[in-house]
Amino acid sequence: MQRLGGLDAAFLYFETPTMHMHVGGLMLVDPSTMSKPYNFADLHAYIDGRMPLVPAFRRKLVPMPLNLARPYWVEDEDFDLDYHLHRIAVPAPAGDHETADVVAEILSRPMDRSRPLWEMWIVEGRADGLLAVVSKVHHSTIDGITGANMMAELFDLEPDAPARVAVPDDWEPERRPSDLELLGRAVYDVAARPAGVVKLLPSTLLGLGRIINRRRGGAAGMPAPFTAPRTSFNATLTPHRIVSFVNVSLDDVKTVKNAFGAKVNDVVIAIASGALRRYLAARDELPDRSLIASIPVSVHDRTEDKEGTTKVSFMFASLASDVEDPVKRLRLIAETNEGAKKDHDMVGASFLQDWAEHAAPNTFSLAARMYSSMRLSERHPVVHNLIISNVPGPPIPLYFCGARLVDLYPLGPILDGLGLNLTVLSNMDHMGFGFIACRELMPELWDLAHAVPEALGELTKALNGSGAAASAAKKSTAKRTSKKATSGRSDS
């Protein structure tokens, strides 16, 4: 039995009928590389054989009595793969839009908390012959790093990979603790909560004081809270989701990064900013002030001693969407991101986890429901406009039951007042941009996806028109080539 970490549990507390706290993923795989024709029964057996490698897939929640404290994970005594692995056909003739509709429908439904919190759907019937594999995992179970680890266990490096080294499947369901045992643990947690909060206050105040001092000195940093402009997608959610996705060249992104001395994450944010400018301007909604994004930051390497699976922090970033020139926009984003990272480090990598450990479940759950039902997100200044996450993906070919991975699009959660999420993941020579939004707030979400290549094109066009930038790109490319020749390592 394992207790959930503070952030793991927070994703449960804040979930409402319209604000689902699961994350999704769309993987397009090519069954033509399989050693024999695709058969769902073979895929079912393949997933079943990987269960010992992914222990989280057979754990379910044990809530505390009266919901007084964080719940526990326990091995599911009734685990049945058929409740989690599903097969569905997309209406013909099917392409990306029809596939996205099926994905959105799957992600529009909450998860059954009485079972392990994951689902996988195999979507058949695409006109191009590809299979769509849709994953759906609750955020209390997974973050970017743990998701990548799970992916490594479900995929192989070649289509006819030899059998994995046998892992003894000595799994057995656990005895569910009695209500009296759980109540004793809950009472202890409740009693320790005030002391924990008092202990955190000095370090929190010290971190905030350091940030204020940096700002007084004129240093760039995170945008101030409640300064984001309101847009049509900053409103109360419905349960319905809409999905769109698109690929761009990873080489183009890296060329822009190297030419302008930025980071990949800066370029991703600049592309998102350019796409949102086009989307909002076409609807006469482009604000005079810059949009603000919340950026998840993995802190696994700095919080190894903390409980739980989800180990992320967040920082706010300006999209400089009020700047028309794409190069100036990128440079401003890079500058403010550098300052935002310093602000983030001053607060501390474990800030969110530490405070989440002392959250009162009933209070936070009730607050989330009241916030949603009273539509409070539409009555106060906007904290931030959307979530943007950039996750490094596989740089090598991967195979799922022998089917080659072609495209990979992650899809994160959306929140009341924050009805748009963009998650970006690199795969081989391209980057997949996965958009998910509230359907009623952004019914034309494909327009935003289609604006992504145009936004990157603005930057590459500006690069080609700048002699200095082009020269820098050539020098950077030559330097990478030299490194590869001498060390055999690829540039990241």
In a 13 Å sphere around the CA of 19, the CA atoms on its Cβ side amount to 26
- Per-residue model confidence as pLDDT tens digits over 184-229: 766 667 666 666 666 767 766 676 677 777 667 667 778 877 899 9
Q: What is the mean pLDDT of the chain?
A: 85
Run of H or E including 344: helix 326-347
pLDDT of res. 414: 96
Cα torsion 151, 152, 158, 159 to 10°: value is -40
Contacts of residue 410, defined as CB under 8 A and 6 or more positions apart, other chains included, come to: 23, 24, 25, 147, 389, 391, 423, 424, 425, 432, 434
Q: Looking at residues 306-329, what average pLDDT do you find?
A: 88
Predicted confidence (pLDDT) at residue 353 exceeds the cutoff of 60: yes
Could you tell me the CA-to-CA distances from 134 to 88, 107, 144, 307 in Å, in that order? 10, 9, 16, 29
End-to-end Cα, the chain, rounded Å? 39
| Contacts for 396-399: CB closer than 8 Å, 24+ residues apart | 396/157, 396/428, 397/157, 397/158, 397/428, 398/151, 398/155, 398/156, 398/157, 399/29, 399/33, 399/155, 399/156, 399/157, 399/158, 399/159, 399/161
Contacts of residue 385, defined as CB under 8 A and 6 or more positions apart, other chains included, come to: 228, 229, 231, 233, 234, 291, 292, 293, 319, 418, 420
Contact 13, 361 (CB under 8 A): yes
Three-state DSSP class for 140? Answer: coil
User: What's the rounded Cα separation, in Å, for the pair 26 and 287?
Assistant: 32
pLDDT of res. 119: 97
Run of H or E including 41: helix 40-50
- Per-residue model confidence as pLDDT tens digits over 387-433: 999 988 889 999 999 999 999 999 999 999 999 999 999 999 999 99
Q: What is the DSSP string of 43-103?
A: HHHHHHHHGGG-GGGGEEEEPPGGG-S--EEEE-TT--GGGTEEEEEEEEEE-HHHHHHHH
Run of H or E including 492: none
Q: Looking at residues 322-341, what average pLDDT do you find?
A: 93
Contacts of residue 355, defined as CB under 8 A and 6 or more positions apart, other chains included, come to: 6, 200, 204
pTM metric for this prediction: 0.87
Contacts of residue 126, defined as CB under 8 A and 6 or more positions apart, other chains included, come to: 90, 94, 95, 99, 132
**Residue bearing the bigger pLDDT, 105 or 197:** 105
Bridge partners, 205 (sequence order): none
Structure tokens, 272: 């998102």
Altogether, the residues listed in the chain come to a count of: 492
**Selected catalytic residue, list 20, 84, 139, 344:** 139
pLDDT of res. 270: 97
* Banded model confidence at residue 478, pLDDT cuts 50, 70, 90: very low
DSSP conformational letter for 489: P
320 burial class (0-12, 13-18, 19+ CB within 10 angstroms)? buried
Q: Looking at residues 82-101, what average pLDDT do you find?
A: 94
pLDDT of res. 9: 87
Three-state DSSP class for 404? Answer: strand
- Per-residue model confidence as pLDDT tens digits over 286-296: 999 999 999 98
Predicted confidence (pLDDT) at residue 124 exceeds the cutoff of 90: yes
* Banded model confidence at residue 303, pLDDT cuts 50, 70, 90: low
139 catalytic? Reply is yes
Q: Looking at residues 364-392, what average pLDDT do you find?
A: 88
* Banded model confidence at residue 492, pLDDT cuts 50, 70, 90: very low
Other Cβ atoms less than 10 A from the Cβ of 178: the count is 10
Three-state DSSP class for 144? Answer: helix
Q: Which residue matches tokens 């796409």?
A: 275
User: What's the rounded Cα separation, in Å, for the pair 8 and 139?
Assistant: 7
Q: Which residue matches tokens 């079943």?
A: 48
User: What's the rounded Cα separation, in Å, for the pair 32 and 406?
Assistant: 12
User: What's the rounded Cα separation, in Å, for the pair 110 and 22?
Assistant: 8
Predicted confidence (pLDDT) at residue 282 exceeds the cutoff of 80: yes
Question: From the CA atom positions of the chain, what is the Rg in Å?
Answer: 23
Structure tokens, 431: 């980057």
Q: 3-state SS string over 146-192?
A: HHHHHHHHHCECCCCCCCCCCCCCCCCCCCCCCHHHHHHHHHHHHHH
Predicted confidence (pLDDT) at residue 4 exceeds the cutoff of 80: yes
217 burial class (0-12, 13-18, 19+ CB within 10 angstroms)? exposed
